[in-house]
Structure 1
Amino acid sequence: MKSKESSTASSRRNFIKSTAIATAGISIIPRHVLGGPGFIAPSDKLVVAGIGVGGKGESDIASFAKSGKADIAFLCDVDDRRAANSRKRFPKAKYYKDYREMLDKEAKNIDAVSVSTPDHTHAVAAMAAMELGKHVYVQKPLTHDIYEARKLTEAAKKYKVVTQMGNQGSSGDGVRQLREWYDAGLIGDVSEVYVWTDRPVWPQGIPWPDNATEIPKELDWDLWLGTAPKKNYVGGLVPFNWRGWWDYGTGALGDMGCHLVEPPYRVLNLGYPKNVQCSVGSVYVDEFKRGYFPDSCPPSSHVTMTFPKTDKTEGEVKMHWMDGGIQPTRPEELGPNETFGDGGNGALFIGSKGKMMCGTYGVNPQLLPLSKTEQANVAQTIERVPGGAEGHYAQWVEAAIAGYGNMEVSSPFEIAGPLTETLLIANLAIRGTDIQEQKTRDNGETYMTYPGRNIEMIWDAENMRVTNLEEANKFVKREYSPGWSLT
């Protein structure tokens, strides 16, 4: 995206120009003169360390390298099996299992860090890097907890590092096209949005397995658990199905929310919701009894978040999140054989003059009926990111080389943090459906209510707390396992 020149950058160039004139015989300007401690000269490559280098982490660091401006010099993973491909691709990179050891020993040799671990480790790894002045790229969702998201957002500003969350669609053309259509008034004022996904595609709403299994020799199970409570290793959890367990993952919202909520969040300039309503799908252990598995995310949910009026809306906005295959009613403007969103996922904007929709990452934006899309004639007012969603990686690399404050990125923590918080607030409501309450019958006998009721939570964003369901506040900030901390 277009770079922004700060007064500091302007002063720096003026200083360099004056110095060069005064010392015509000097052709090399020291790094510390160019930009202070930590400044990376434009001729240098960004030295990147990857934390979590299998799966998505593998493709992340490969994409940084593809930019041609990043040197993947350090790799870290708790599972040698997952790290194998990256170690083969970058044979000169030094390998570690514990990111804390890597940062302690190699801090002076690292410019930037990419974090692509399970959700429960994102915040501690990213914060450790930022405290050392390292630029950070963190996979979505930014954090596991609301408190963590707020602290990382504050830390990015405090330590003056370039940050980016791994929601590639924020760099795509689709989100920008939707913004231009909306700003041009093509669908009028939006007061309601529907967002849906076919996730989870991993087990949820199930009990934790009773029997421990043997830990694979390549996996450091204690390091994998990290901030989470100590538990026996169970088969099938690593490398993917951890997403369905609250100790490690954030469910369907964490997996897809940053990709699907990004378009309405950016188009309407939304902030924090003021209240959240939720109902979840039931799980039955037999014909008569509902299963109660509070450690596991539910198989499906419908969350409605109400956002205050913004500078892009005339009033409040209601956003409906649906997962587990639940979808909104097809708009009447959509033909019977036309795809709704991208099929399994999508976002639908309901405006006072019309409707528009898109698929995952904001791709394939469409006005409804679809014939209006080709007829739309709106000038491009928002600069595109070279390479679109794929350019998301190169954008961060170039911004980190340019230095803090000298170049925009699509999903800096100042935007990614509040977006992630919004999704985690919705998760608070989902978890709130599992909060049991003790009741007393007329005869004095006590009993526990069944979870799963339809609930509403009132959210105090400034103080990060639920004001009408105190027990839900324990999920705002986790207690880490001994030996782990955020700062």
Structure 2
Amino acid sequence: SAARAVSFNEKLRTAHVGVGGMGSGDLGSIASHAKVEVAALCDVDAERLAAAQKRHPRAKTFRDYREMLATLGDSVDAVVVSTPDHTHAPAAMTALQLGKPVYCQKPLTHEVFEARQLRLVAEQKKVATQMGIQVHSSAVYRRAVAIVQSGVIGKVKQVHAWSSKNWGYDGGPFTNEPEAPPSVAWDLWLDTAALRPFARAYHPGGWRKFVDFGTGTLGDMGVHIFDTPYAALELTSPKWVRTTCRPPTGFGHPEKNKVEYEFPGTAHTTESLLWTWYDGAFAPPTDLQLPEGLRLPSQGALFLGEEAMMLLPHVGEAQLLPAEKFASYTRPDVPEGDHYHQWVDACFGEGQTSAGFQYAGPLTEALLLGVVANRFPGQTLAWDAENLAVTNVAEANALLRRTYRAGFEVEGL
């Protein structure tokens, strides 16, 4: 069903799935738009739900997003998803199937197949979508895109990107853990994931480290740090991906990780583009030939062009190198943007989102291929994007799409 047309003399009535942690920030940022009315709040953790309701006492509250969306129907206009990664696609797709615009936290999904499906259904439903990579709209990142696309560093041949954060876990499964706190509806937290006992390492916050719930450092930080090079160079799908990390455990993501990609060339790159990601103790990279005295930040990206280099700290102004070559260079003037308000405006039909699912889907697919490759270290996975398949390592295809737990199936996934 088509989304209800929202006219500009009305409020956009929002429903928020996940209101603790990042969800609390998302709630505040979207509610700060003058045309937004927070209509509903949902969280599996009653304590976090109560804290959010204090800020929005008129909002209806729920523990299960499926019940919320089924109950409220047309009394909600748009949905914000700020949950752990494994529930992004189920919640976002449930909203899309109802014709609701969706703002979804990053990375867009937990699996490659989910990212493809969200993009296709969002296009079909013709609703405003946005992935929560808020720095995408910041002036520093948009200025970096403009600098690269101006050609001042020449065609880009390589990108190096890194984060020294460690959203990995190299240990084994947990034992002797307590029951879930009374405030946490553990079955609903697991959602589509297989049943297992609660562990303090999962909730709140630590879920990013575990393969069934999160996407590791690559998914958590790579989605931000990949974003600017991906947008600036107008990249598509990689030809192949290869990782260097410890053997897979099937439980936690690697604590340190190096991922290499080759992308087809674009107007802004050489004939092909080599991209290398480093995280944990592999970051920042130590094997790059850099101008004398240059120290790399703990997170960022380095563009190697045929004429010059650009270093982009996360988050900070781009540095053009060698510095003497750009002593009189005038940087493009780019206004600051509000990523959250951009989505609200687009829900009213005013302007378009810059990180809608048509952009966020392919970016997330590329990232998550690196997460899949972590399970096959040292092997080059050849990628057929059109058919959504790894062509040379058959076992990898089983990791592109997971089976949802009985009772938590979602139409379109």
Q: TM-score range by the shorter chain?
A: over 0.9
Which residue of 1 is the match for residue 209 of structure 2? Answer: 244
The correspondence of residues 182-201 of structure 1 with structure 2, limited to 5 A, is 182-200=148-166
Structure 1 Cα separation of the partners of residues 207 and 285 of structure 2: 28
Q: Secondary structure at the match of 1:42?
A: coil
Change (3 A) 1:189 1:103: same
Cα–Cα, structure 1 residues 187 and 85, in superposed 2: closer, same or farther, change >3 Å? same
- 2:381–2:392 Cα contact (<8 Å) kept: yes
* Cα deviations by residue, 1:103-127 (Å, 9 ceiling, x for unpaired): 0110111010000000000001001
Per the alignment, residue 257 of structure 1 pairs with 222
Q: TM-score, normalised by structure 1?
A: 0.81
Q: Give the aligned partner of residue 400 of structure 1.
A: 347
Partner of 1:321: 277
Q: What SS class does the counterpart of residue 421 from structure 1 fall into?
A: helix
CA RMSD of aligned residues (A): 1.8
Aligned to 1:223: 188
The residue that corresponds to 1:449 in the other structure is: none
Alignment map for 1:39-438 (pairs within 5 Å): 39-200=5-166, 202=167, 204-281=169-246, 293-326=249-282, 327-329=284-286, 334-336=291-293, 339-340=295-296, 343-361=297-315, 363-370=316-323, 375-377=328-330, 379-380=332-333, 384=335, 387-388=336-337, 391-402=338-349, 407-433=351-377
TM-superposed deviation, 1:312: 2.1
2:359 is aligned with what amino acid?
I
- Structure-2 residue corresponding to 1:467: 391
Asked if the contact 1:274–1:306 (Cα under 8 Å) also holds between the matched residues in 2, the reply is yes
Offset, 1:374: 5.3
Pick from 474, 477, 482 the counterpart of residue 401 of structure 2. Answer: 477
The 2-side partners of 1:37 and 1:483 are apart by: 26
Q: 2:168, 2:217 within 8 Å by CA — same for their partners in 1?
A: no
Residues 406-447 of structure 1, C-alpha deviation per residue, up to 9 Å, x if partnerless?
Answer: 5211100000000000000111111223xxxxxxxxxxxxxx
Distance 1:255 1:429 in 2: 16
* Aligned residue identity for 1:353: E
In the superposition, relative to structure 1, how do residues 234 and 89 fare at CA in structure 2: closer, same or farther (>3 Å)? same
Change over 3 Å in CA distance of 1:234–1:43 after alignment to 2:
same
Secondary structure of the residue that 2:396 maps to in structure 1?
helix
Deviation, 1:190, is 0.6
- Equivalent runs, 1:4-19 vs 2, <5 Å: none
Deviation at 1:83, TM superposition (A): 2.3
CA distance in structure 2 between the aligned counterparts of 1:331 and 1:298, rounded to whole angstroms = 23
Q: How far apart, in 2, do the equivalents of 1:37 and 1:236 lie?
A: 39
Distance in 1, matches of 2:386 and 2:368, equals 15
User: Which one-letter code corresponds to 1:274 in the other structure?
Assistant: K
> AA paired with 1:418?
P
Shift of 1:219: 0.4
SS of match in other structure, 1:101: helix
| CA displacement at 1:71 relative to structure 2 | 0.9
For residue 73 of structure 1, report the CA deviation from its aligned partner. Answer: 1.3
The aligned residue for residue 380 of structure 2 is 456
The aligned amino acid for 2:230 is: Y
% identical aligned pairs: 40
Distance 1:105 1:478 in 2: 28
Alpha-carbon deviation of 1:186? 1.3
CA contact (8 A) 1:45 1:401 kept: no
Tell me, in whole angstroms, the C-alpha distance in 2 between the residues paired with 1:221 and 1:457: 36
TM, length-normalised to structure 2: 0.95
Matching residue's letter, 1:116: S
CA shift at 1:209, angstroms?
Answer: 0.5
- Alpha carbons 2:42, 2:64 under 8 Å: kept: yes
Distance 1:62 1:356 in 2: 34
How far off its partner does 1:185 sit? 2.1
Structure 1 distance, partners of 2:240, 2:50, is 45
**Structure (1 or 2) with the larger CA radius of gyration:** 1
SS in 2 for 1:432: coil
What are the ranges of 5 or more consecutive residues in structure 2 without an aligned counterpart?
Answer: none
- The alignment covers a number of residue pairs equal to 409
Equivalent residue runs for 1:25-40 within 5 Å: 38-40=4-6
* Aligned-partner residue type, residue 355 of structure 2: S
CA contact (8 A) 1:149 1:418 kept: yes
1:290-310 deviations in Å (ceiling 9; x for gaps): xx6221111111010000111
Task: Give the counterpart letter for 1:414 in structure 2.
Answer: Q
Work out whether residues 366 and 373 of structure 1, in 8 Å CA contact, stay in contact via their aligned partners in 2.
no
